[in-house]
Structure 1
């Protein structure tokens, strides 16, 4: 009779040879051990028994085993048992199958975490979890989730889940995941790029050290910065935002904050103030037509209305009113210097259409000059 494990076989020798003093045991025709009399036990049937264990054997293999009994002085020939084949237990198979692994991330209390999930395999007694080949955790056979901690922000980690049992490791499954980005982006620049009477366009650019810029939240407030008028979200590492429907000649306060691809929001930056333009004055036209080559007349009221419109345009452009000499002059005449005042006042606004050249005293004012000076004024935007 015998018992076995993966690496040992225990046999029990039964004999009625009560004079035996020592025993020798043979494995595959080689002596394994000599054991002196130390353990015969008489059975109820009058037989004697002794057990012996062959150790250090290979799993899943058969061995040819024998036992010999001797008298102490060796004068009596040994009694040989019949040789018999005995086998060790077969080694178990490693875990079967490959776990399918996924992961997501978390951040709490100043620590970065990776949540690891995997599918079950067969024949395992547990799992080892590694991050970038560093051992992180052990999971039991009935588990398919483990949370592990990692050291660095926004770092790429290769996660491995290795099933194992008594025969060794099975096939591992893996996935890649980045730890959380927890650093908010910053706004690098913020200013107005276009200001009109009813809208203002703002521009912002930013940068982020981790997951990358996602966009900006733009805000438009009243001049005291307390009442939110409108807000908008724009995407990209830089963006423009136009706030429309604003009132002419009114100051507004603008604010912005940046956010990244993992929705970390920066703080709202400092105030930026801008004022819409005044309403543009209407184009000017003469009361009486002025046709080139034809006779014409300019009344004092007509000229004074013209220079008044020039000052409306100047104020609209942020300039002071010009100190015109009104018509008629004290002697009731219209002088070249009065025309030249209009030319100078218009030119200070840098009109797209240039004003006519200044006129010399005693020269002739043609209708074409009056047509051209009005065209120049009306080109101011």
Structure 2
């Protein structure tokens, strides 16, 4: 069996497919992956024996700035990505039995699979990306944010925005492939039976007519890399510190420094992750230690709390470790959704990045660091599954899709 996996985005978009690829290979499947051409993704896939088919521009360059590109630039990036997909996918998909596409940006995947007679599966990593009256669409940078409150209306407007961005290009390419036009690009990409690779305790799908969602559990791998020696020494030299990091994202101006100050004000040491933004939050004090890329699975069980941006992977890893969380989400993708889930499950506190202050951070940290919050976090952590990628791989190999 040959499986093609495809996504475009940061590490949070690529790593779940890496987990699925490993499980598929363990079941005897041949796997290749379409992903951004960034060197770290090429090295990651080479390490598990999966061939990278590079599609689109490097993501790290896109995320390098302090702010997201303008709406005009984002529209141009999206259009160029669609063209790159239609150029690369036909040869990448050749000989494959199944295509698994992750993310709404995979505009070309279903059409190329359809033309080649290949089974297509769409996967989301968070329920908020799938239409439901139980929640609003996630923030989509560069597209207008409607000032209405009804979720059904918001999803209708969201579909109109997707059509406006991608409809002409998609249907032009479908015509070349001999396929009929589609009138709802978003729902065409999602299908009426999408998969949801999210933990059912942390991010359950609210039953919604019209969508037969297959929730497999989150797609992750064990990460048993030992922590660096200097980090281990810092951890051993005192009480557990509070971790602060924003992954592949750049936080709003001043948020990182404010978080360090608030953590110190609560009497805790600070563990500051540089992340893709290369944040410099260390001022020379021996109570603050900077780290690069380390295993969060090995680390988060050793910290007092985790302050982060609301990425799906960070939220899940902290929850599994039983670590209380303070989420300062960017108004981007699923970050606000995971912040809301942390608050709803009482695993910590969620803030609004646009109004976060030293005082509000202090209140949030005090709540997160309380014994009651830690007890709830540990209780929820013990109920989270770790077999999502295995479940998904077996469904693909067995044909129960």
Query: Greater strand percent: which structure?
Result: 1
Taking structure 2 as the reference length, the TM-score comes to 0.19
Query: Greater helix percent: which structure?
Result: 2
Larger RCO (alpha carbons 8 Å, 6+ apart): 2
Taking structure 1 as the reference length, the TM-score comes to 0.19
